[in-house]
Amino acid sequence: MSDTSAGDWLRERLDDPWNATMHDVVPHGFPAYARILHPATVRSLPDRRVPTYDEYDAMPEAERLALIDQFIDEPATWAETASAFGTTLHPLAQWQRIVRTPADGDWNMRLSPDGREFTGPMEGEISPEMLSVIAGHLIAHTATPDAGFAALWEGRGGLVGHMGHGPSRGFYTFSDDPNHQAMLDRSIPDPLNNAFRKQTWQEGILSREISEGPRFGLLNRDHVLFGGAISAFVSPGWILEVPWRDTPAEEHGSSPSAQSPSILWPDDHAWVMVSEIDYDSTIVAGSAELVAAICADERLEAFQIPENADLTWEADEVNR
């Protein structure tokens, strides 16, 4: 949008400067807040534990390849994860505490005592299906379901184009053809020679007009702002209709996709949904009725949280 003033009201309700509560990114002033946990992933093997990376690397190649076919990857709730690690799930729980991450450990992938490998939730984004479930609740609690705004953080890889020597992102292919490999080798960036080359426009997912247009700026975050019907997100097929559909990736063989909005709100400001890029949960601020409906939905793993909630890694005092 050329006019980003539609988001001014939201900016005015954020903490400035940052104070380490959710209100660095989630606006103050709503009756209630829901924290919707993003699903994790669990990997298991029939009748045995998942090997560590060191154990996996030490295996003969044939054994590694055979093992790959046996892996079972499934979505995992935070409740299931907490049960596996013997920790406590609560509204302000933090993933690295849930999986008992040591001070110098990898919090994203952890082996549980029962031999399963848990991978942390996606940060800053939710699946089309999950957004459609949330949107079903959102449109029932606004008088303007067909008028609202979606803001996308501009830093997602390849979203916006830029002036430069190389593309916004690369799409890699593999071939035994030596001529094809030579072409790929020539495409590798050459920093020394690039300094003397003229910069050209490198296409992104969005058009050049949008890429070079105004941004909806929040503290430490700039977003591309779009206006439209919030009700469109009720169908998981919304990825096919939004102007930020990733058609360049589709042209290289990928399935249809589009990133979920970083921020979503209706024209009447009845609520706001925030998927902060560094959060493993999505926050909905709105009426008590909306938050109760979200938390009661068995398709979601959600908790009501208080205003001024601290969602930083150090906030989980229960699982220290």
pLDDT digits (tens, 9 = 90+) for 102-118: 988 888 899 999 999 99
Is there a single domain that holds both residue 88 and residue 48? yes
Among the three residues 202, 228, 263, which one is the final residue of a domain in this structure? 202
Q: Model confidence at 181, in pLDDT bands (50, 70, 90)?
A: low
pLDDT of residue 174: 47
Is there a single domain that holds both residue 151 and residue 29? yes
Is there a single domain that holds both residue 113 and residue 185? no
Residue 106 in 3-state DSSP?
A: coil
Q: Would residue 13 count as lying in a domain?
A: yes
Using alpha carbons, select from 120, 82, 84 the residue that is nearest to residue 98: 82
Query: What Rg value do the Cα atoms of the chain yield, rounded?
Result: 22
Q: Model confidence at 151, in pLDDT bands (50, 70, 90)?
A: very high
Using alpha carbons, select from 304, 294, 217 the residue that is nearest to residue 263: 217
Using alpha carbons, select from 77, 180, 72 the residue that is nearest to residue 116: 72
Residue 169: pLDDT over 60? no
Is there a single domain that holds both residue 242 and residue 265? yes
Containing domain of residue 185, as a range? 164-202
Q: Would residue 320 count as lying in a domain?
A: no
Residue 71: pLDDT over 50? yes
Q: CA-to-CA distance for 306 and 92, rounded, in angstroms?
A: 10
Is there a single domain that holds both residue 138 and residue 171? no
Is there a single domain that holds both residue 137 and residue 261? yes
Is there a single domain that holds both residue 56 and residue 152? no
Is there a single domain that holds both residue 234 and residue 248? yes
Is there a single domain that holds both residue 221 and residue 141? yes
Q: pTM of the full predicted structure?
A: 0.87
Residue 203 CB neighbours (<10 A): 15
Among the three residues 202, 225, 257, which one is the final residue of a domain in this structure? 202
| 105, 109, 110, 112 alpha-carbon torsion, rounded to 10° | 180
pLDDT of residue 110: 93
Burial 136-167 (b: 16+ CB within 10 A, else e): bbbbebbebbeebbbbbbbebebbbbeeebeb
DSSP conformation letters of 121-161: PPSS---HHHHHHHHHHHGGG-S-TTSEEEEEETTSTTSS-
Structural domain count, the chain: 3
pLDDT digits (tens, 9 = 90+) for 244-290: 999 988 988 999 999 999 999 999 999 999 999 999 999 999 999 99
Lowest mean pLDDT among 106-110, 117-121, 160-164: 160-164
Is there a single domain that holds both residue 148 and residue 240? yes
Is there a single domain that holds both residue 68 and residue 136? no
